[in-house]
Amino acid sequence: DAGVTQSPTHLIKTRGQQVTLRCSPISGHKSVSWYQQVLGQGPQFIFQYYEKEERGRGNFPDRFSARQFPNYSSELNVNALLLGDSALYLCASSQGHLNEKLFFGSGTQLSVL
C-alpha cells in the first residue's frame, strides 16, 4: 500500500505569492493533519481535518487555509507568502479522529525568497 504522498517535494516562491500544497493520505485513513517544521524545531500544528471537516486549528494567521476532499486528500493554501513561511510542510494521516499513530509524508520544502 502506498504511504502518505505529498506534492510538490520542493517549491520556491517569492514574497506575496500564493502556494498550494497537496497531500494524499494512506488508503482507508480519514484524518489529515498539516504541520510546519522550521529547521531545528519540532513540527508545529496547523490544521486537522476529519471526514472533510476542520477539527483543529493551530496558531497560524488567516493566510493559512486548508480543505479536505471527498476522497480524503487535502490541500494547504498559504496566501501572501512571507520570508518566515519558509519551512518543511508535513502532512500526516491517521485512521480516525482519535489521533493515534500519525503517518507522515516526506513533506514539501517551501522556500520563500
Partner 1 sequence: RKEVEQDPGPFNVPEGATVAFNCTYSNSASQSFFWYRQDCRKEPKLLMSVYSSGNEDGRFTAQLNRASQYISLLIRDSKLSDSATYLCAVPKTSYDKVIFGPGTSLSVIP
Query: In the complex with partner 1, which residue's Cβ is closer, 35 or 72?
Result: 35
CB of 47 to partner 1, least distance (A): 9
List contacts with partner 1 (CB under 8 A).
33, 35, 41-45, 48, 55-56, 58, 88, 90, 97-107
Query: In the complex with partner 1, which residue's Cβ is closer, 75 or 103?
Result: 103
CB of 59 to partner 1, least distance (A): 11
Query: In the complex with partner 1, which residue's Cβ is closer, 65 or 99?
Result: 99
Strands ordered across the beta sheet of 74-78: 5-7, 19-24, 74-78, 64-68
CB of 33 to partner 1, least distance (A): 7
Phi and psi, residue 21, nearest 5°: -110, 145
Query: In the complex with partner 1, which residue's Cβ is closer, 17 or 30?
Result: 30
